[in-house]
Structures are given as structure tokens and as C-alpha cells.
Amino acid sequence: MSMVLYNDLTRTKEPFVPVREGHVGFYSCGPTVYDFFHIGNARPFIVFDTLRRYFEYSGYEVTYVQNFTDIDDKMINRANQEGISVSELADRFIAEYYRDADALGVRRPTHAPKATEHMAEIIDLVSTLIEKGHAYEVNGDVFFDVASFPAYGVLAKQSLEDLQSAARTDVNEQKRHPLDFALWKSKKEGEPSWPSPWGEGRPGWHIECSAMSMKYLGSTLDIHSGGTDLTFPHHENEIAQAEAATGKTFAKYWIHNGFLLIDREKMSKSLGNFLTARAALEKFPPRAIRFFMLSAHYRSPINFTEESLIQAQSAVERLDNCWSDLQHAKKNPGSKEGGAELVPLLDGLKNRFKEAMDDDFNTAAALGVIFEGVKAINTFLKESSEPDLPSLERAEQFLRSVDSILGIIGIEEGEAHGDEGEIENLLKERETARRERNFSRSDEIRDTLAARGILLEDTPQGTKWKRRG
């Protein structure tokens, strides 16, 4: 069965059929880089990166584009407050973005374009819209003419009249229609500006995403995503600009993540109720944050509490324990074929994992399936006195493959350390010391390892070790 995605354009689940077979062109609206991002912003970064990984796992080649908005009012105000240039501010917070996003296991996009580096594409698109009668210039400002585009409201599922009465009255003498929006803004004193056919100025926010997405993905994208607050007007305007210019469908599937809430309110900079990803990472392991984000369906709201993060942390520890128990068992495998039940069970679970992910990327259900697998592996390890190597490897492969998508088990971390041999040697030395009743040496080894974040557990099957969360 192929993947089914809920398309906000049709408000139904639709089979995923890409423009080009085997390829996914995927654009996700990225951050405005005027500050650290908060864990509400982290939700789209994490979930859409995970969806990208799932497409890759399913055999697609994915071109994933996530932009940086590096020029807008917020950028200008913040740069003025700090007494630095807008581009210095952008450089700083792009670096901070990568520091936190990397820590959260968000893979870097194929392309991460900045608006300020795409002025030529933006100006071209605005010029085309003017030529085609979809935009007009007034005193150096250029506006999109919503009345010229009959499909305006296609994503919001509202007519121009309904949208107009719902919209706050936007008093601007220059505009023909209150919903007309700026494609180009004429320069104001003290603001950065770029030359254009309409004089010095800067682009509007919506046009940058249309211009940059089409530059890297062509005129029809497979998927366009962002937080649900971007549906209107940002994404509606992106559709209008792109389709009015090209006459082609701009994006086949529009997907939006639900809000991350705190005390039942949207987490946002303006409400001041936010926790930066940086602060969250100081308190909780990154994989616990990922687990928390993926534990709800991406379209549902998710409520952030300390308690939910603590629960996510203990869930991740259960996964890590299963992984390290498997590694331990593999060191001393038995010869009995103990996996007669385990192997087919894991095969079934792998299929159910795929079914959950194929069903509109249901990571919550997929996590449930993984825990069924963990339970089966734990039982196998406990009940089989001589777990055989092929079954252990099959169990390892199950965890490894689901984790290549979700990034919640400490597999790579353990392997990246490359010090397992040394730890095993110290453990052997400790066992000898204990046999010889040399407890001061055995305690010394335990303390040395603890200082390196390695925790020991003495079990009837020998001493197990794991890295601290």
C-alpha cells in the first residue's frame, strides 16, 4: 500500500502520488532568524524532517527545502535593538538554529535558502505578476491584486467576501482591496534595501517562499508544509502568487502541524509563554524531546508539560535498555534457535509500523508498535537462556530500521563513542577484581566509568552497562 496523506487543500486523506516517480519535492517554511527558536517552532522542524526520512526509508529520493526568513520587520526591529546590522543578526541566529536543530537530531535540509540571497528570483516573480496583471505598483510598493485571482481562498476554503469580512480592516489607501498584500515594500529610512524596477526596497514575506520553493523544486512541488497558523494568509498567498505567475498547480499536498500548547494556549513569542529549544535541551535529553514531539499525531495539538517530558525520557530509557541488553546478549550468544516466535512477530510488527506511518504519518501509532517489539525482545532475552545470534541480530535490525526514521534510540550515539572495547576490558578487569575480593579496585573501576557517564548494573547474567541518558 502506498502512503496516504491528509491534504489541507482537499481536506481529505489522499494517496501520495508524486509529480515525478520516485522523487519527492518537499518545501517547509523555516524560521525567521531574529531569536532562538522555541519548542513550538521545533515541532515542524522535527516532524517534517522525520516525514522526509520516512520517504527516504520508503525508497524515494527527497529534495527537502527549508528556508530562513532573514529580512522582515522582526529582523529589523531586533537588529536595531541590538545595534547590529540585519545580516549580522541573521548570521548569528542561523548559527544558533543549526546548533539547536542539530542537537535535536533534525537533519540539515537539501537546500536552506535565505531570502536575502534570492533577490533576483523574487524580483523576477514580482515582475511576472505585474506583467500578467496580477500585481500593481503604487509609489514604490507592489501589491498582489487578489481580485485578479479567482481561486483566492482555495486553501482557506472561503470566498473573497468571507475572508474580507473576517480579516481585520487593513487601512491602506494604496491598496485596491483590503486583502491585497505586499510583494515589495519601498525603502524606509534606516532599513536594508535592494535595488528593483520599483526603486530601492525589500520583499514581502510571502513572495520569498514562492520564489525560493520554485527555484529549488520547480513550479509544482509535491509537498508544502508549515505550522497550522501559516495556512492563512501565508500559504494562501503563496498559492496565489505562484499559480498566477505559472498557471500551474503550485503544491499537490499541503500539510500543517498542530500547535504545541502550554497551559492550553499556543506557545508563542508574542504571548511570552515559550521555552526555547536551547533551554529545553539543558533540561532534557534531545531524544526525549523528539519522542515527545512524535508521540502525538502531527496534526493534533500537543500539550507541553514537564511531566510529559519526564515520561518521554523514561520511554526513551526503556528503548535504550532494550538496545543495550541486546548488545550485551550478542557478546555471548547461545546456539539454541530461540527466535522461532520472535522473528515472525517482529516481521509482522515491521509491517504494522509501515502501515501506521503510511496512514498519514501516524507516528503515535508507530511508537505503539515499536513498544510491542521492545516487549517481545525483552521477553525473548529473559526467557531464552541461550538467545541465538541470528534472532538477536534480527531484533537489532528491527530497532535499527525504525530508529533510522524516528531517531529516538541511542544507537548511533553509542557507536559514535567507539570506546566499547575499552569499557568491556574494564568490566572484565572488574569481574576479576570482584572474584579476588579486591573490592577497592572493583569500586574504583565503577567510579571511573561513572565519571564517563557509564552506568553499571550487576545481573545474574553478568554486569551490564549503559550510557547515562
Distance of CA 454 to the CA centre of its chain: 30
Bridge-based pairing of strands 251-257 and 221-227 is parallel
Does the protein bind Zn ion through residue 209 (CB under 5 A)?
Answer: yes
Bridge-based pairing of strands 181-186 and 201-203 is antiparallel
Residue the block writes with cell 494604496 = 174
Specify the residue, 290 or 430, whose C-beta has the smaller distance to ligand AMP. Answer: 290
Residue 304 contact partner, candidates Zn ion, ligand AMP, none, CB within 5 to 8 A by sort of partner: none
Among 47, 106, 221, 267, interactor with ligand AMP by CB under 6 A: 267
- Evaluate whether 396 touches 330 at the Cβ level (below 8 Å): yes
Helix 363-383 to helix 306-331 angle, to the nearest 10 degrees? 40
**Phi and psi of 61, rounded to 5°?**
-95, 125
Distance of CA 15 to the CA centre of its chain: 22
Question: Which residues, at least 6 apart from 162, have a Cβ–Cβ distance to it below 8 Å?
Answer: 153
375 vs 367: CA distance, rounded Å: 12
- Let me know if 120 is exposed, middle or buried by CB neighbors in 10 A (0-12, 13-18, 19+): exposed
Does residue 15 have a cis peptide bond before it, meaning omega lies within 30 degrees of 0? Answer: no
Residue 32 contact partner, candidates Zn ion, ligand AMP, none, CB within 5 to 8 A by sort of partner: ligand AMP
- Evaluate whether 395 touches 382 at the Cβ level (below 8 Å): no
Q: How many residues does the chain have?
A: 469
Specify the residue, 175 or 266, whose C-beta has the smaller distance to ligand AMP. Answer: 266
Residue 7 contact partner, candidates Zn ion, ligand AMP, none, CB within 5 to 8 A by sort of partner: none
Q: Name the minimum Å distance from CB 207 to ligand AMP.
A: 15
Residue 183 contact partner, candidates ligand AMP, Zn ion, none, CB within 5 to 8 A by sort of partner: none
- For ligand AMP, the binding residues in 212-241 under the rule CB under 6 A are 226-227, 229-230
Specify the residue, 272 or 460, whose C-beta has the smaller distance to ligand AMP. Answer: 272
Does the protein bind ligand AMP through residue 29 (CB under 6 A)?
Answer: yes
Q: Which helix (H) or strand (E) holds 181?
A: strand 181-186
Instruction: Characterise 11 by phi-psi region: left (phi > 0), alpha (psi -120 to 50), beta (else).
Output: left
Q: Name the minimum Å distance from CB 211 to ligand AMP.
A: 17
Q: Name the minimum Å distance from CB 226 to Zn ion.
A: 6
Specify the residue, 226 or 285, whose C-beta has the smaller distance to ligand AMP. Answer: 226
Residue 18 contact partner, candidates ligand AMP, Zn ion, none, CB within 5 to 8 A by sort of partner: none
Specify the residue, 29 or 267, whose C-beta has the smaller distance to Zn ion. Answer: 29
Among 3, 5, 24, 29, interactor with Zn ion by CB under 5 A: 29
Does the protein bind ligand AMP through residue 43 (CB under 6 A)?
Answer: yes
Among 7, 24, 27, 32, interactor with ligand AMP by CB under 6 A: 32
Does the protein bind ligand AMP through residue 50 (CB under 6 A)?
Answer: no
Does the protein bind ligand AMP through residue 196 (CB under 6 A)?
Answer: no
- Candidates 173-181, 263-271, 290-298, 335-343: pick the segment binding ligand AMP (CB under 6 A): 263-271
Q: Name the minimum Å distance from CB 267 to ligand AMP.
A: 4
* Alpha carbon separation from 273 to 172, 268, 411 (Å, rounded): 32, 6, 34
Dihedral over alpha carbons 381, 384, 385, 388 (to 10 degrees): -80
Does the protein bind ligand AMP through residue 290 (CB under 6 A)?
Answer: no
Total binding residues toward ligand AMP, as defined by CB under 6 A: 17
Does the protein bind ligand AMP through residue 387 (CB under 6 A)?
Answer: no
- Candidates 29-37, 176-184, 288-296, 340-348: pick the segment binding ligand AMP (CB under 6 A): 29-37
Q: Name the minimum Å distance from CB 234 to Zn ion.
A: 6
| Nearest residue to ligand AMP, by Cβ distance, number only | 227
Residue the block writes with cell 502550554 = 262
* Alpha carbon separation from 415 to 319, 352, 403, 412, 419 (Å, rounded): 16, 28, 14, 5, 8
422 vs 415: CA distance, rounded Å: 13
259 vs 285: CA distance, rounded Å: 22
Instruction: Characterise 259 by phi-psi region: left (phi > 0), alpha (psi -120 to 50), beta (else).
Output: beta
- Evaluate whether 453 touches 419 at the Cβ level (below 8 Å): no
Specify the residue, 43 or 287, whose C-beta has the smaller distance to Zn ion. Answer: 43
- Candidates 24-32, 140-148, 352-360, 446-454: pick the segment binding Zn ion (CB under 5 A): 24-32
Residue 267 contact partner, candidates Zn ion, ligand AMP, none, CB within 5 to 8 A by sort of partner: ligand AMP
28 vs 230: CA distance, rounded Å: 11
Q: Which residues bind ligand AMP (CB under 6 A)?
A: 29, 31-32, 40-41, 43-44, 226-227, 229-230, 257, 259-260, 266-268
Q: Which residues bind Zn ion (CB under 5 A)?
A: 29, 209
